[in-house]
Amino acid sequence: MTYKMVVLKGGPPIVSEDYAAAAVITPGDIVELTSSGTVQRNSDDAANVAFTVALERDEMGKDIDDNYAVGDTVKVGSCKPGDHVNAFIPSGQNVSVGDYLTTDAVGSLTKTSVSATVRIARALDAVNATAKTRIRVEVV
């Protein structure tokens, strides 16, 4: 099944539209605020970060396949435990349902280097990614 939104289940996330994109961002990328006051893909590898994700601009007729360009105002959602989100895993990841995931350094989720202190999501789908691939996850 194809999902055309980032937040799939749970309460609405806390939304911010205060920052511009420092680089190209795709809805579903895990993002972070930079020291210069812009938003970029998360750059913390295997870190215990806040689950903050770029959202689609549905109110502007855009969906999850419409990237933000540099300088665009990014609609960002802060998700809470239990929310189901349409995020990304990178190429080369072989994920099973129930696997715990952490962040990589390019805005995706990964099984690599997961430990009890750096889990931010749990896989809801089994995916063998041969490219950057969407995956349904539960925020933990």
For residue 113, the model assigns a pLDDT of 85
- What pLDDT band is residue 119 in, cutting at 50, 70 and 90? very high
26-49 tens-digit pLDDT: 999 999 999 999 999 999 888 778
Residue 2, pLDDT above cutoff 90: no
CA 80 to chain centre: 13
- What pLDDT band is residue 1 in, cutting at 50, 70 and 90? low
Mean pLDDT value of segment 82-97: 96
For residue 140, the model assigns a pLDDT of 94
Q: Which amino acid is at 65?
A: D
What global pTM score does this model have? Answer: 0.93
Name, in order, each residue with C-beta under 8 angstroms of 24's C-beta and a sequence gap of 6 or more: 67, 68, 69, 70
**In this structure, what DSSP letter does residue 68 have?**
B
- What pLDDT band is residue 51 in, cutting at 50, 70 and 90? very high
- Print burial letters for 109-132: b (CB count within 10 Å at least 16), e (below 16): bbbeebeeebebbbbbbebebeeb
Mean pLDDT value of segment 4-27: 94
